[in-house]
Structure 1
Amino acid sequence: MSVCMMEDLETVGSAYLEASRRHARRIVVCAGTGCMANGAMKVLAALRDEAGAHGLDLETELRFEETRERDGLLTRSGCQGFCQMGPLVSVEPDGILYCKVRPADVPEIVRETLLGGKAVDRLLYRDPATGDACRGREQIPFYALQDRTVLKACGTLDPEDVREYVAHGGYQSAAKAFRQMTPEAVCKEILESGLRGRGGGGFPTGRKWELARIQAEPRKYIVCNGDEGDPGAFMDRSVMEGNPHAVLEGMMIAARAVGAQEGYVYVRAEYPLAVARVRRAVADAEALGLLGDDLFGTGLPFRVHVMEGAGAFVCGEETALLASIEGQRGMPMPKPPFPAQSGLFGKPTIINNVETLATVPLILARGAAAFKAVGTAGSPGTKTFALTGHVANTGLIEVPFGTTLRHIVHEVGGGVTAKDGSADPAGFKAVQIGGPSGGCLTKAHLDLPMDFDNLTRIGAMVGSGGLVVMNQDTCMVQVAKFFMQFTQNESCGKCVPCREGTRQMLALLEDIVEGRATEETLPLLETLARNVKLGALCGLGKTAPNPVLSTLEHFRDEYEAHVTRKVCPSRVCKALMTPAIEASLCKGCTLCARKCPVGAIAGERKAPHAIDPGKCIRCGACVDACKFNAITGA
């Protein structure tokens, strides 16, 4: 295997760009997990076959040795972000983005666009506010209102072609770090950039690297934490699937900064596509001489291993992750010593999450000052979020730190939706940020600039970046119960406060939603939550009570309604429902009676019906069946 030098990178990049210019068009099919689940690969195959049937010369893999002109390059990308509109197909240089493409749509795309140069209007995104068709990303508010920096390449580059990554400046930052910078200089640049860890806590990355750099131990490690386990979060997965080489390059720069010789990418086994693409990226980087025993002719080695995690949420905690790599049960260890002092196999170890590492090459390429120009003083740069829940535009977004929740939900996200999916402008209730370790943001926080420090001050946290939007039909007690059930199931059991405390908190929440709570329940729940927060061993245990504490703070009246009046204001908790039929609204359609599993509803056709409370089991089937909203709760 030959050593890859800076001039070799320039040669590979120039050859790729030259070969790509021989294609009249580039057709890119989104091949992220979401689009692939919706049939993206069938769309890609249909495009290849249909184009061939019309005599179009499409290449599916760029070949340097080819010299003839081609009609187009048909390729794939990682997640393009607009997940609910997938499968997505873009056509360049036409500037067209097609949404929800099916194989049956392909003949029209080939006929109208590839042969006729016109857009297929029905496949374009339509702005709900204006009804106008949006030809490309620049016209779609979801994209236009973002600052896609880390995610930019995920939707454009072929993640399985290292040459394209190189052609767009890839590995130049790593070459610069190894050939032109000392370890001290690399650490200083990252420290001056103000980069903070994107995995949850927001610890300054440069400080962590400097702590490892000054350790006298000659053997050191770099670990990429790709164990993304928060419900509703898929940012790291999408980066690994869409731009794995950026993650590897970040690891290489970290290795130069601290003097590491070996690295591990720890990926959830539930992310098979990410695992496959990271493994291919490592193999391709080795084949080009980018990874190996002599990086860029410096004589310095760095090799990377890919390890699949066992799916335990606690392995997202850094010391538990290290134990898992070592072949032990994934359980956290007390700190100090910190992993940067004594980590994997007892050696100094840097652990950064995927997004953090993918940001590092951008900093060295543009400079610390340019990076700090975006975001806030205490939280520079951008942050990716997985926007899900009751919002019009769900998907993967990236905005500068300091962006308000109002901008994210109502502008980028297109506004809150009702239960039936229709727009509900006044329906915003809350956002759960940071998953099981985070907290709730309410209407009072809509204009709060979101960064690490502001969120910490109000008892929330950025976390990994999950944003779950909730409308007025959401029961906040059920939300707290959902996250507590998750953390209780995922507790490793090592420390009593987490193992038993989460179990007892879950039991108290179940008492509340099932109508068994007493006036002592809420004070006991709050006290228990604060004790778990103080006494748990690791960061995951300490943050497990956050959803309970934040919902208690912001929605205490909702808890009290459950406890004192035995009523669920959102009409979600079935045990607290006392269904009744509003005679003025009932049309006598009999649908509710036919859906009732216990025969508790009676009445003549076209006449108001009634519910027998003695027979009713509060299953909610009648509420779901009624088309006239005639069935009310308590």
Structure 2
Amino acid sequence: MLNSRVELDDLKKKALLEISRTPKRILVCAGTGCVANGSLKVFELFKQLLAQKPELKLSVELDKEDHHNKTSAHISGCHGFCQMGPLVRIEPRGTLYCKVKPEDVSEIFEEHIINGRVVTRLLYQDDNTHSPIETQDEIPFYKNQLRVALANCGRINPDDIEDYIAHNGYQSLARALYEMTPDEVVKEVLDSGLRGRGGGGFPTGRKWLFAREAGGEKKYIICNGDEGDPGAFMDRSVMEGDPHRVIEGMMLAGYAVGADEGYIYVRAEYPLAVKRLRRAVETAGKYGMLGENILGRGFSFKVNIKEGAGAFVCGEETALIASIEGERGMPRPRPPFPAVSGLWGCPTIINNVETLANLPSIILNGAGWFSSLGTPTSTGTKTFALAGQVAHTGLVEVPMGLTLRKVVFDIGGGLRDGKVFKAVQIGGPSGGCLTKDHLDLPLDYDSLQKAGAMVGSGGLVVMGEDTCMVEVAKFFMGFVQNESCGKCVPCREGTRRMLDLLTRITSGAGTEEDLLLLEELALIVKDGSLCGLGKTAPNPVLTTLKYFRSEYEAHVRDKKCPAGVCKDLLDYRIDPSLCKGCGLCKKNCPADAISGAKKEPHQIDPEKCIKCGTCVSKCKFGAIVTN
């Protein structure tokens, strides 16, 4: 039980000493992506091998007794380089092994752990020179990043509070409790320029100020971990990889506004995050970092875990509050805003995971340090989940204002398979599509808003030239239509009608009048919806209409899909110069639309063809083409 700042500092020194006396520290990524690829089996094998070598003074992570001068194995959170998982990092040098399989463990153990020789074949190979890169920090994917919220992810054991404390864990809370008044904490966050990382980018300090000035004895802090954007996994990775950092951020917010209780609202589809958050709350309580009279300074704070059922609308503040209260997750009119009247009518601060994860670094290093990063109006760093057709998918954190080109090409390695860049969807269903003309656009709140997109939570889906932008708009409209709570007519009926129009267009039944109606409906939904989900739902449609209108026109005028994606607009034919007459296409055609003699070029009857694509998948010679 830690009863003072001195005791916290003493535990930090002890934990650091233990790490410094560890000749080699094995960190096996146990984020969701690597776990799905078998990383826990890799971790178990390392533990088994360590336990079999007592003569080398090796031990496993859970054996706390006589731990000095022993190599140890630990799980870690997500390293971010998901494309290369499962990942194994070996300290103190920071050697990173990629795509480690269970059968590779004995070789790493024998060569690296025992004999000190690097296993070159498992290192990352440079995209251009194809030469191996040993240390994690020299890999371009990491080298071009600046990690603040993700600083500990992949570097500490998320289940070990002492590992967190060794890496400055709870030091910012101690500084706030011992050196700062609540008003000074609020001012520090205001001066840092930190804006909410989960959506529209409202200044965090201003939100806190409203709650601080609100009356009432009971106030709440809510951590919004309801990350529902397709392709987004930033908050999940922080909750899984550094749960104590989230708790510390909540406690700083609680101290600043006068709250003594908080809720972490996390969707039940994140079972690993839920498990590690629960363990972190329990452990923090045992160490005296949650509960009554924390660090002997009279500040008390309690954290509850609330599992959400997965409704996208519950990412909206008032719908989230309704869900915690046991009601159906539906938005409420504002004002009053939650900072004045939120959970059970009490002043409530809602910050998303990444926003809270920035707070310990701001309080520890100062507002000036944080505001020196990024741009004057978008300070600090931002995490992005790189997905889609980019060569290196994963989680990245960069200074605000870095260009899209640097993120996609310098960090993400460009598009895979030699594809040509066409667009990105940024900000999830609430965001918008950007084109190659936006590659040098700074990724900050103001620049993206002017372009018709938004930072949002940070999802960034990269698309190549074979992507149909009308189909992309249809996909996101289908998502938001399914997730609409139905409370207000513009969102409930408007998104349904927009989806119907997009379906008509992609099936070849659309008209130019449909395009005009689609745009008109989009603006009505944007202006008339009750909450942020409805107001931003039309963004993918509006941005694709703005930047890729020619594709829409090709669908309705020429009844063609330029990208060759919309199957109802494709015509299948057989190139006689390539067809060998093998008969596989004919044999597998479910509509009996293919004819031809054996060893002679075949033909497709367009009247019978149902455009299922079976013939394409069965042809071994690439003879079936579409136009």
Equivalence for 2:60: 60
Equivalence for 2:17: 18
Q: SS of 2:300's equivalent?
A: coil
- Alpha-carbon offset, residue 52 of structure 1: 3.5
1:449 to 442, 464, 470: 442
1:494 aligns with 2:494: no
Equivalence for 1:175: 174
- Alpha-carbon offset, residue 63 of structure 1: 5.5
Distance, in Å, in 2 between the alignment partners of 1:157 and 1:510 is 48
Tell me, yes or no, if the aligned pair for 1:232 and 1:468 is still in contact at 8 Å: yes
- Alpha-carbon offset, residue 628 of structure 1: 4.6
- Alpha-carbon offset, residue 489 of structure 1: 0.6
1:360 aligns with 2:353: no
Distance, in Å, in 1 between the alignment partners of 2:94 and 2:310 is 40
| Counterparts of residues 27-426 of structure 1 (less than 5 Å) | 27-55=26-54, 56-61=56-61, 65-66=65-66, 68-70=68-70, 72-417=71-416, 422-424=417-419
Equivalence for 2:610: 617
Report Cα offsets for 1:259-294 as digits up to 9, x if no partner: 001100000000000001111111111111111121
Tell me, yes or no, if the aligned pair for 2:194 and 2:205 is still in contact at 8 Å: yes
Distance, in Å, in 1 between the alignment partners of 2:435 and 2:512 is 26
Distance, in Å, in 1 between the alignment partners of 2:179 and 2:599 is 84
Distance, in Å, in 1 between the alignment partners of 2:238 and 2:588 is 45
Q: Evaluate the alpha carbon distance shift between residue 63 and residue 7 of structure 1 in structure 2; reply closer, same or farther with a 3 A threshold.
A: farther
- Alpha-carbon offset, residue 158 of structure 1: 0.4
Equivalence for 2:624: 631
Q: SS of 1:153's equivalent?
A: coil
Give the AA of the match of 1:176. R
Q: SS of 1:293's equivalent?
A: strand
Tell me, yes or no, if the aligned pair for 2:51 and 2:59 is still in contact at 8 Å: no
TM-score w.r.t. the length of structure 1 is 0.96
Tell me, yes or no, if the aligned pair for 2:2 and 2:8 is still in contact at 8 Å: no
Distance, in Å, in 2 between the alignment partners of 1:558 and 1:548 is 12
Report Cα offsets for 1:121-149 as digits up to 9, x if no partner: 21111112111111121231111111122
Distance, in Å, in 2 between the alignment partners of 1:36 and 1:301 is 36
Segment drifting more, 278-287 vs 56-65: 56-65
- Alpha-carbon offset, residue 164 of structure 1: 1.1
Give the AA of the match of 2:457. S
Equivalence for 2:498: 505
- Alpha-carbon offset, residue 588 of structure 1: 3.9
Give the AA of the match of 1:249. E
Give the AA of the match of 1:16. A
Tell me, yes or no, if the aligned pair for 2:50 and 2:60 is still in contact at 8 Å: no
2:468 to 475, 484, 497: 475
Q: SS of 1:290's equivalent?
A: coil
Tell me, yes or no, if the aligned pair for 1:48 and 1:58 is still in contact at 8 Å: no
Segment drifting more, 38-47 vs 598-607: 598-607
Identity %, equivalent residues = 61
- Alpha-carbon offset, residue 457 of structure 1: 0.6
Distance, in Å, in 1 between the alignment partners of 2:89 and 2:98 is 9
Tell me, yes or no, if the aligned pair for 1:393 and 1:413 is still in contact at 8 Å: yes
Report Cα offsets for 1:88-137 as digits up to 9, x if no partner: 11111243211111111111111111122111121111112111111121
Distance, in Å, in 1 between the alignment partners of 2:442 and 2:376 is 12
- Alpha-carbon offset, residue 64 of structure 1: 5.5
- Alpha-carbon offset, residue 61 of structure 1: 2.5
Segment drifting more, 278-287 vs 614-623: 614-623
Distance, in Å, in 2 between the alignment partners of 1:458 and 1:21 is 49
Distance, in Å, in 2 between the alignment partners of 1:114 and 1:12 is 28
Superposed CA RMSD: 1.5
- Alpha-carbon offset, residue 300 of structure 1: 2.3
Give the AA of the match of 2:360. P
1:435 aligns with 2:428: yes
Report Cα offsets for 1:278-332 as digits up to 9, x if no partner: 1111111111111112122222221110110111000000000000000011000
Aligned length: 626
Distance, in Å, in 2 between the alignment partners of 1:22 and 1:32 is 27
Tell me, yes or no, if the aligned pair for 1:475 and 1:572 is still in contact at 8 Å: yes
Q: Evaluate the alpha carbon distance shift between residue 50 and residue 293 of structure 1 in structure 2; reply closer, same or farther with a 3 A threshold.
A: closer
Tell me, yes or no, if the aligned pair for 1:19 and 1:63 is still in contact at 8 Å: no
Q: Evaluate the alpha carbon distance shift between residue 598 and residue 279 of structure 1 in structure 2; reply closer, same or farther with a 3 A threshold.
A: same
- Alpha-carbon offset, residue 609 of structure 1: 2.4
1:461 aligns with 2:460: no
1:567 aligns with 2:543: no
Tell me, yes or no, if the aligned pair for 1:19 and 1:62 is still in contact at 8 Å: no
Distance, in Å, in 1 between the alignment partners of 2:29 and 2:313 is 31
Tell me, yes or no, if the aligned pair for 2:586 and 2:615 is still in contact at 8 Å: yes
Report Cα offsets for 1:204-255 as digits up to 9, x if no partner: 0000001110112121100000000000000000000000111111111101
Give the AA of the match of 1:59. S
